[in-house]
Structure 1
């Protein structure tokens, strides 16, 4: 659901000029529904060309992160921790990751970051196991999939033609959201 945020004030901006001009802008905005003020940071690029003299596009939007998710990326969990299905960890059932396409998207992002974007076709990946860890309190384990702030431990296999990548892979994916529409922060690290 979209919101009509109100501009409050400019905090700061920086300009970096290379082949393109990049504007890093920080401003405060207010949500009239809750009367809360939040910091909004964005990166704009002046992508000029002969056919289009000035074109602005938002390249990034930084959200305010939960303190729990500001530290370095966590390491891969031990086999015992990955197997435990308790209040903190949830072992995602295969039927659930089949229904949630975004888990496949996160896995593809992890794979592409590992391969330095060398592959151009969508990779044939097979998810083998997903464990989600979150501090958000939920009644049912499967609700952890809907957590705004969570860490996903994904083991998967590449089944494509490139023999260089044809093996088992692991990734740690941290998702952080601030409950504002369109705000998501993903961090990915290969865990091998």
Structure 2
């Protein structure tokens, strides 16, 4: 694939992620887990994904779980391979975007709380993945926190 000079100049000018453009709601420290007492009705912010939603977005959710587990393994790819496939146990999406529930997984700014376990009923983990976008096409920031349970 080749990029025209005009596209290359435009791409270079927009290369840096603009943290100032991100919704203030997503700028604080990444949470440790779903806040106590949070429910799916709290200001339309929390949504526990149904099995059909998880199935529809399974590739992204598995990628997020992989990324989270990878942060705990000191970059040992063999351990990551051994741990797969993951069993996604519970997924809660937090977003300010007022969209229908099945589209919350595609919200530009969202926090994913993913409880999963490794292959064969192995180790349980809680992962928090915050996805933010700055409004520039193809710009995404992921912050990850993962805890062994």
Query: Same fold by TM-score, threshold 0.5 exceeded?
Result: yes
Moved more, 179-188 or 64-73: 64-73
Structure 1 or 2: more helix by fraction: 2
Write the mapping of 1:1-192 to structure 2, written as runs, cut at 5 A.
4=7, 7=10, 29=13, 40-41=15-16, 62-64=17-19, 65-78=22-35, 80-81=37-38, 84-86=39-41, 87-100=44-57, 101-120=59-78, 122=81, 123-138=84-99, 140-159=100-119, 166-192=122-148
Structure with more relative contact order (C-alpha pairs < 8 Å, separation 6 or more): 2
Contact 1:173 1:186 (C-alpha < 8 Å) held by counterparts: yes
State the structure with more CA Rg: 1
The 3-state SS of whatever aligns with 1:85 is: coil
Q: TM-score, normalised by structure 2?
A: 0.77
Aligned length: 134
**Residue 107 to residue 91, structure 1, CA distance change in 2 (3 Å):** same
What secondary structure sits across from 2:91 in the alignment?
strand
TM-score using structure 1 length: 0.61
Structure 1 stretches of 5 or more lacking a match? 8-26, 30-38, 42-61
Kindly indicate which of the two structures has a greater share of residues assigned to strand. 1
Compared with structure 1, are the counterparts of its residues 166 and 180 closer, same or farther at alpha carbon in structure 2 (3 Å cutoff)? same
